[in-house]
Amino acid sequence: MNKMIVFIGLLLVVIACNKASEIIPELPELFEGFKQPANFPAPAYNVAKNPISKEQFELGKKLFYDARLSRNNTISCGSCHIQAAGFTHHGHDVSHGIDDQLGTRNSMPIMNVAWNKAFFWDGGVADLDLLAIVPIENPVEMDEKVPNILKKLQGDEQYHALFEKAYGTSAITSIRFLKALSSFMVMATSSNAKYDKVMRKEGADFTQEEEQGYALFRSKCANCHPEPLFTDGTFRNNGLVPSAVNDLGRYDITLNPLEKYKFKVPSLRNLKYTAPFMHDGRFLNLEGVLNHYSSEVVDNGTIDPSLENDDGKLGIQLTAKEKKLLLAFLETLNDESFVQNKLLAE
């Protein structure tokens, strides 16, 4: 009798599992390779020189979230680039690195990097495949050397298997290491905000307030933040009072006095997730940013001409109503699917 009960129980489990598989189909593969969104220009990154396979992407993802990339194995790339925060360091004005040390700049988002020609607030790196070296070797970020990382990885059999899947052999080299990280970052594409769906005519429409904000944006903001990336990738002085550390921005790279206090124009996508704002994270919210442009811009010697007005005033003249309309439009640039994309999750 007991054997019969066990048999019937097992039979019911099998039947239930079969029915469940009929109701809940197996999830499709998330990885579909790098794709250029229909409303985006051609990427700056040459994908042909680094074809992104599923295996190479998975290797890059594991590396991105591996704390062994830091000297004492405590800080990963994902520590300062958190997906839920649009791949920025949530709530931190400047990045927090190894041994609780503080950097001097706000973490820029890992987002749409395939369309970038220069990286970091000062544009100190012009090749995505070399980007990771800077935070890895920065003494207040990860404070490690690439050769040391390779030794750590070479002692891990799992990495030997992953490198072999990605590249055909198990050799763990610096070029493969860096290109794998690029493969992960290139796949961090944000292109499914409401704005994108409106532009691609995918059944979405702006509200009246968003439409008015869009028109206002195009007349007052698009010079530095053109669509669809909402950055022109240039370096500009937007009239901030110099910070206590007197960060000179682009000047530190070029040593050109005309580039003092110039910083890279950031994208305006996903601002809902990426506060605080500016290169030093001085503004906690977008209201603070708009107030800066409307009434707090200062001329510190290299002010961007777009912020100089014929009447001698600096900044972008905005009424309270116009600020509200701009905020409504900026809300349409938030891409919830990006911060919840399981493909990119740790």
pLDDT of residue 161: 98
CATH superfamily name and code, 194-337: Cytochrome c-like domain (1.10.760.10)
Over the stretch 59-94, which tens digit does the pLDDT of each residue have? 999 999 999 999 999 999 999 999 999 999 988 999
Is 80 marked as a binding-site residue? yes
Is 96 marked as a binding-site residue? no
Average pLDDT over every residue of 113-128: 98
47-190 — its CATH code? 1.10.760.10
Domain boundaries, the chain: 47-190, 194-337
Instruction: Give the pLDDT band (50/70/90) at residue 2.
Output: very low
Is 17 marked as a binding-site residue? no
Can you tell me the distance from the alpha carbon of 155 to that of 170, in angstroms, rounded to the nearest whole number? 12
pLDDT of residue 23: 34
Give me the phi and psi of 88, to 5 degrees please: -120, 180
pLDDT of residue 9: 44
Average pLDDT over every residue of 107-129: 98
Over the stretch 15-55, which tens digit does the pLDDT of each residue have? 444 433 333 333 345 899 999 999 999 999 999 999 999 99
Over the stretch 48-64, which tens digit does the pLDDT of each residue have? 999 999 999 999 999 99
Whether 47-190 and 194-337 share one fold: the answer is: yes
Can you tell me the distance from the alpha carbon of 67 to that of 75, in angstroms, rounded to the nearest whole number? 5
